[in-house]
A and B are shown apart, each in its own frame.
Chain A
Amino acid sequence: MTIGAASPILKRFGQVLAMLLVIGVTANCASTSSPDEYADDDYSVNDPFEDINRVTFEINQTLDGLLLRPIAEIYVGVVPEWGRDRINDALNNLGEPVNFANGLLQGNMERAATSMLRFAFNSTFGLAGFFDIADGIGLSRADEDFGQTLAVWGVPEGPYLMLPLFGPSNPRDAIGMGVDWLIDPFTRALRSHEKYQRLIARGIDQRSRYINELETLEETSIDFYAAMRELYRQHRSNEIRNGELPPPLPIPSITLEDFADEEYDQAEVSDGMSAE
């Protein structure tokens, strides 16, 4: 099963890589949103490896419950919010060169300039990045990664992938993550144990920010895996759009008249009560 599924995945990787080469040359700027995405009969979530993904998800969840989450909870318990915000700001600051590079690669000069200025201000006046003073002067974070850059270049997201340890992803974002690691000047500047320390710190920092949210989501979903997958996909597409409005969902109104026309008589659903 695992081996059988691995070959299509490699094929997809190959396809994406090939597409990358072509696109790198022609540099087209096609929009990534397809109008059919929300069509009534379209439930395609592009998850051909769902069975394996679900197993990986379970393993990740177990590891999270045993290790990452308890560490994040201790971190929240020991370090006050102010301190955690400073660490978050510092780690974000280390990410600015990658934001800058990807802003440039996307041809988005405004966001590239924002990242550059943020890095300059926060690294100096912001005391090595521990204080995000740039945000206060209207330079809000412009997070750009190579996964987003590929999307802007027109590369499709490909099948959903649940990566061990790293969590929700897809070939586009997985490649993006690798490229970001390679182009990050801090990857070169830091010694190898420092690199891993930074990675681990980032993991704990991120996990600590979503302790309650993830717990509530798990408690209140009827399919946690499917909910996470959908949240990841929409979250990424929102990042790619840089927060602009998504393509509108075609939501047909069910008026009182429509409701009366239905083949059974039934009390107002909005009361949450039924007529027997």
Chain B
Amino acid sequence: MKLIYFLTLGAAAGRRQGLAAITVLVLLFSSAGVSASAADSEAGEFIRNLGARAVDVLRDKEGTTFAEREFAFRNILVDGFHMRTISRFVLGRYWKSATKAQRRAYNDVFVDFIVRVYASRFDSYNGETFEIIKVLDSDVGGDVIVRTRILRPSGGSPIGVDYRVRVIDGSYRVVDIGVEGISMLHTHRIEFASVIKRKGMDGFLDELRAQVKARE
């Protein structure tokens, strides 16, 4: 995008300034190289901060209630993950066939459902630490994969967690999470589709709401 802008600029500047345009291009290419790796380290830093927040919440388990930790987890989730993109992908093609009221009901319950599903899993951690193994460019436009692993205090085998990080509306957000190679988005998408096929859209929405209510 920027490159095209500069090319146009260079052409407009005319032949006399051709050399200057080439210089600009060279500079642009070299800075593009720098910013690509900078993006990687920024994405890594973003995940590091998110992880540090999570570890902080779990550090003081005696001094907090589950409800408080769940609230903190919810904030981390909403700040770190692009829930709008995630919720749409997970519903997949059924978004198109849903009515306005169904879409609204789905959007209303989705984040609560995800909090319900993952807050207790999150809360079961105790003394775990995590480390970033490497940051990889993914082949999908601009996504960065941050490979991490959760180390268990007992010394059991670590759990590999991959975060797919993307810049949306100007900020870094996680759009998918892979646990030992298992995509959480794909898993929920298949599960949701299975329920919608068997019980219809309204039946599916009832199931989501029942799950949220089942939370103590």
Interface residues of A (CB under 8 A from B): 38, 40-41, 43, 45, 81, 85, 212, 216, 219-223, 225-227, 229-231, 234-235, 237-238, 241, 243, 245-246, 248-256, 259, 263-264, 266, 268-274
| Docked CA distance A272–B212 (Å) | 12
CB-CB under 8 A from A264, the residues of chain B are: 100, 103-104
Contact in complex: B120, A216 (CB < 8 Å): yes
CB-CB under 8 A from B104, the residues of chain A are: 264, 266, 274
CB-CB under 8 A from A234, the residues of chain B are: 181-183, 186-187
Contact in complex: A246, B183 (CB < 8 Å): yes
Smallest CB-CB separation from B89: which chain A residue?
Answer: A251
| Docked CA distance A271–B117 (Å) | 17
Smallest CB-CB separation from B175: which chain A residue?
Answer: A251
Q: Is B128 an interface residue (CB 8 A)?
A: no
- Picked from B117, B160, B195, the residue with its CB within 8 Å of the CB of A220 is B117
Q: How many A-B contacts if CB must be within 8 Å?
A: 143
CB-CB under 8 A from A222, the residues of chain B are: 191-192, 195, 204, 207-208, 211
Contact in complex: B191, A251 (CB < 8 Å): no
Contact in complex: B187, A227 (CB < 8 Å): yes
**A-B residue pairs in contact (CB < 8 Å), sample of 23:** A81-B154, A85-B156, A219-B214, A220-B211, A222-B192, A222-B195, A223-B195, A230-B191, A234-B183, A235-B181, A238-B180, A245-B181, A246-B178, A246-B183, A249-B164, A249-B176, A251-B85, A255-B169, A259-B84, A264-B103, A269-B83, A269-B110, A270-B78
Interface residues of B (CB under 8 A from A): 74, 78, 82-89, 92-93, 100, 103-104, 107-108, 110-112, 115-117, 120-121, 124, 136, 138-140, 143, 145, 154, 156, 160, 162, 164, 166, 168-169, 175-176, 178, 180-183, 185-187, 189-195, 198, 204, 207-208, 211, 214
Per DSSP, chain B at the interface is: helix
Chain B min CB distance to A208 (Å): 13
CB-CB under 8 A from A245, the residues of chain B are: 136, 138, 145, 162, 178, 181
Contact in complex: A223, B78 (CB < 8 Å): no
- Picked from B83, B116, B182, B208, the residue with its CB within 8 Å of the CB of A235 is B182
- Report if A251-B185 is in contact (Cβ < 8 Å); known contacts: A216-B120, A269-B107, A269-B111: yes
CB-CB under 8 A from B116, the residues of chain A are: 220
CB-CB under 8 A from A219, the residues of chain B are: 214
Chain A min CB distance to B163 (Å): 12
- Report if A230-B136 is in contact (Cβ < 8 Å); known contacts: A266-B104, A270-B83, A271-B78: no
Chain A min CB distance to B200 (Å): 13
- Report if A248-B138 is in contact (Cβ < 8 Å); known contacts: A234-B182, A255-B169: yes
| Docked CA distance A232–B191 (Å) | 13
Contact in complex: B100, A230 (CB < 8 Å): no
Chain B min CB distance to A28 (Å): 24
- Report if A266-B191 is in contact (Cβ < 8 Å); known contacts: A220-B116, A255-B169: no
